[in-house]
């Protein structure tokens, strides 16, 4: 059990190290993982959560950023004006790093 927990901690720290390497330094709001329980997915709840988040980001006049490892979610986030700025494997799983700007400047990560 201890070995398994240690392994999970190492994996989590490794993932966090990769995510932080890609994390834009420019000020932004970070959309953390969101989830809708499977029984009620595809009924518009996720879109409502994103609308709420984006409305507040727009009111603040600021940019936003997220990571996802699910290809099926990329078009959903693109509908809310997030754009893929980078892709990289995290623990062997492809991840998409997505930025949402008020203006036209899409920053390079770590710039
Ligand atoms: C991503 C998630 C939060 C979306 O919530 P939701 O309530 O299902 O979203 P919506 O009902 O607003 O659907 C938005 C669109 O995404 C599509 N979509 C949602 N889940 C999908 C899936 N698993 N596969 C393909 N398309 C999906 C819907 O078809 C819909 O598109 P449409 O309007 O063109 O039909 C939800 O699917 C979820 O919890 N997934 C598992 C956890 C997860 O991936 N979280 C995000 C981590 S980055």
Ligand 1 centroid to Cα of residue 85, in Å, is 21
39 within a domain of the structure (yes/no):
yes
Of all protein residues, whose CA lies closest to atom 39 belonging to ligand 1? 35
Ligand 1 centroid to Cα of residue 56, in Å, is 21
Question: 35: Cβ below 6 Å to ligand 1?
Answer: yes
110 within a domain of the structure (yes/no):
no
Give first-to-last CA distance, the chain, whole Å: 41
Q: Which residue pairs from 82-85 have beta carbons closer than 8 angstroms and sit at least 24 positions apart in sequence? A: 85/24, 85/109
Question: 93: Cβ below 6 Å to ligand 1?
Answer: no
User: Which pTM does this prediction carry?
Assistant: 0.86
Structural domain tally of the chain? 1
Of all protein residues, whose CA lies closest to atom 18 belonging to ligand 1? 42
**Per-residue burial over 30-50, b = 16 or more CB atoms within 10 Å of its CB, e = otherwise:** ebeeeeeeeeeeeeeebeeeb
Q: What does DSSP assign to residue 97?
A: E
Give the model's confidence band at 111: pLDDT under 50 very low, under 70 low, under 90 confident, else very high: very low
Is the pLDDT confidence value at 108 over 70? Answer: no
Q: Which domain holds residue 55?
A: 2-100
User: According to the model, what pLDDT value does residue 25 have?
Assistant: 93
User: According to the model, what pLDDT value does residue 4 have?
Assistant: 84
Do 103 and 95 form a contact (C-beta atoms < 8 A)? no
105 within a domain of the structure (yes/no):
no
Which CATH number belongs to the domain containing residue 26 in this structure?
3.40.630.30
111 within a domain of the structure (yes/no):
no
106 within a domain of the structure (yes/no):
no
């Amino acid at each position: 059990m201890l070995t398994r927990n240690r392994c999970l901690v190492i994996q989590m720290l490794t993932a966090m190290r990769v995510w932080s390497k890609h994390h834009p330094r420019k000020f932004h709001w970070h959309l953390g993982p969101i989830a809708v329980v499977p029984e009620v997915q595809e009924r518009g709840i996720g879109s409502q959560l994103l609308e709420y988040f984006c409305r507040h980001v727009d009111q603040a006049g600021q940019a936003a950023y997220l990571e996802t490892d699910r290809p099926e979610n990329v078009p959903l986030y693109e509908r809310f004006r997030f754009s893929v700025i980078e892709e990289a494997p995290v623990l062997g799983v492809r991840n998409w790093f997505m930025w949402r700007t008020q203006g036209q400047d899409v920053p390079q990560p770590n710039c």
